[in-house]
Amino acid sequence: MDLGIRGKTALVCAGSKGLGYGCAEALAEAGVNLILNARSEGPLDEAAERLRRHGIDVRTVAADIASEEGQRKVLAVAGDVDILVNNAGGPPPGVWSDWGRADFQKALDANMLAPIAMMTAIMPKMIEKGWGRVVNITSQSVRAPIAQLGLSNAARTGLTGFVAGTARQVAPHGVIVNNLLPGTHATARSEALDKGRAAREGVDEAEARRRSEAAIPAGRYGDAGDFGAICAFLCSQQARYIVGQNVLVDGGSVNLTM
């Protein structure tokens, strides 16, 4: 399917690996030029080289998107983009009694306030042009909270509430905003969670992963490439009537009727 976005430009935050890279690669395959952000220059440059094989232009910005300084640095390069993919690593797991105000503030900065700041800065230009796409990578935990991920539950649910109203305000101007809610995918994040489970349950990491996969109806962890393809579709011309939705990509893990 031709997604109708060849030649447009996308900013992909935290895009050097994992789900962010999966989104960047799917957009590159669709002919979208990229501004790629990540914190570390080495992995960022390596990712950019791989993506250029698709024949598109890739610019890189090494910065922490969770910080105001990082956002300013990225926005100075991004300028007038057509597509924004918001993404940032999740806060560490734990127990409710582990977390204080500073922990919540850090989670909010990365997983709620940063994407809101990026949308606030970029969407006015999209509105002027009458076309834009925003995809926020959040988590299945906004539909079904995960006990040990309380920091993520709180921050990402706050972003979801913001998007619910905002998406409907900008849709009349051709700007389409949606959220992608990943379940467990084969990324560094899942490896860290498997390591924590292995320690808690006294098993090796392979067994911890097997137990996690057994709880997923699809019987396996997700693939970043498959996830990216869904992101690219939400950025397409064909997705113009999908507004303010929370799209689960979780292999059936969240058991919901609606």
pLDDT tens digits along 8-63: 999 999 999 999 999 999 999 999 999 999 999 999 999 999 999 999 999 999 99
**pTM for the complete prediction?**
0.93
Encode pLDDT of 164-217 as tens digits: 999 999 999 999 999 999 999 988 878 888 888 888 999 999 999 999 999 999
Q: Are 36 and 24 in contact (CB under 8 A)?
A: yes
Encode pLDDT of 120-175 as tens digits: 999 999 999 999 999 999 999 999 988 888 999 999 999 999 999 999 999 999 99
C-alpha–C-alpha distance, residues 154 and 196, integer Å: 21
Q: Are 10 and 35 in contact (CB under 8 A)?
A: yes
pLDDT in the model for residue 191: 84
Give every strand in the sheet of 33-38, ordered side by side. 58-62, 33-38, 9-12, 83-86, 132-137, 175-182, 246-249
pLDDT in the model for residue 186: 87
**What average pLDDT does this structure show over 233-239?**
98
Q: Which of 230, 134, 234, 115 is nearest to 175 (CA)?
A: 134
C-alpha–C-alpha distance, residues 34 and 12, integer Å: 7
Q: Which two tokens stand for residue 62?
A: 């090494």
Q: Which two tokens stand for residue 73?
A: 């640095």
